Structure 1
Amino acid sequence: MKPDNILIVGNTKSISTAAEKSIKKYGKVRRISGKDKFEISQKIAKEMGNYKQAVVVGGNSFMNGIAIASYASRKGYPILLTKKKIPFRLIECQVK
Structure 2
Amino acid sequence: MIVGYSQSRREVNALVLFNDMMAENLRPDNYTISVVVSVCAKLTSLGIGKVVHGKAFRIGIECDLLLSTAFIDMYNKCGEILDAWSVFGVMRVRNVVS
TM-score, normalised by the number of residues in structure 2: 0.31
More strand by share: 1
Normalised TM-score (structure 1): 0.31
